[in-house]
Structure 1
């Protein structure tokens, strides 16, 4: 299934790359720490929230639209506790101040460990700060809007290649 997500990532990013021949798309890798929050239903006792800490790693392609706006597509492998899944967000990335960016967009998640309903939809909100031309730090909040879709907080770094 990982191969299918990589294929989806490259097919999905190809219009950006074709368009970006004039505007110079950039590719890179990113990774870091994530804290994922799960709501656990205990049948007649109600529900409670628990969290797990894990890691994520992946690739991204960014295509500038103008001086302040870009489109960024990520493909991230996430491992947290007993769960492994792919997170593929499509961001609108806006520079709000020098080297400070806000990003928001839908995300598609594929859970390797679920037997049914493996695909979940979410919304990702993120900010990043560019340290050098090639290196940035970012923080992201992933909001799961489907039933059983977890929420997560991500802290990491990205490197443009």
Structure 2
């Protein structure tokens, strides 16, 4: 009887361990950005993001999700302005990043989860565009920007099925966008809303 009870306990324990240590899940994600800069002289612009992730369960309620995401970010100038003899209108700064968020997710229910974690960004392209004295202007300015960006994100998500889900996330930049010699302290902000698909 003792042997049978011990065997039963071992089986139950093994089943519980298997349930709480499922293997990693791979997937893709895509959606829209509403990005901007900190400060009062800029406003948000719309972009998109797309990437891939792996979700690794740590327990029945917690998992960690590293991602690699291409993200169109930046901001628009809130006001038109003059610089000497130049009249500048409709200026927009585009910043393209390869971001690597690492989110710790708390699974409140099998469908609903909360998440938070750091985001590491590599700037791959920067371009300013607008109208100067009535003529269209477009110019690369990546050399003026910091190559690396660091931020912190919080979000939540919902799984409609085993494969399909939705996610919303806010990322606050913690490092300055421009290089130090420009004396500007603006940082990135970004709100993401999109869909996820797990394989």
TM-score band by shorter chain is 0.7 to 0.9
Runs of 4+ in 1 over 3 A off after TM superposition: none
Match of 2:36 in 1: 37
TM-score when normalising by structure 2: 0.64
Q: In the alignment, does 2:191 pair up with 1:153?
A: yes
2:150/2:175 contact within 8 Å kept: yes
Per-residue CA deviation, residues 60-104 of structure 1 (Å, 9 max, x unaligned), is 000001111001001110124622111111111101234110110
Q: Distance in 2 between matches of 1:23 and 1:67?
A: 9
TM-score when normalising by structure 1: 0.78
Q: Distance in 1 between matches of 2:176 and 2:111?
A: 36
Q: What residue ranges of structure 2 are gaps of 5+ in the alignment? A: 1-20, 75-93, 126-141, 178-186
| 82-91 or 107-116: bigger deviation | 107-116
Q: In the alignment, does 2:90 pair up with 1:78?
A: no
1:39/1:50 contact within 8 Å kept: no
Match of 2:60 in 1: 67
Q: In the alignment, does 2:161 pair up with 1:123?
A: no
Q: In terms of Rg, which structure is larger?
A: 2
CA drift at 1:121: 0.7
How many aligned residue pairs are there? 134
Q: CA RMSD for the aligned pairs?
A: 1.5
| 134-143 or 31-40: bigger deviation | 31-40
Q: Distance in 2 between matches of 1:130 and 1:96?
A: 12
Q: Distance in 1 between matches of 2:188 and 2:157?
A: 22
Match of 2:45 in 1: 52
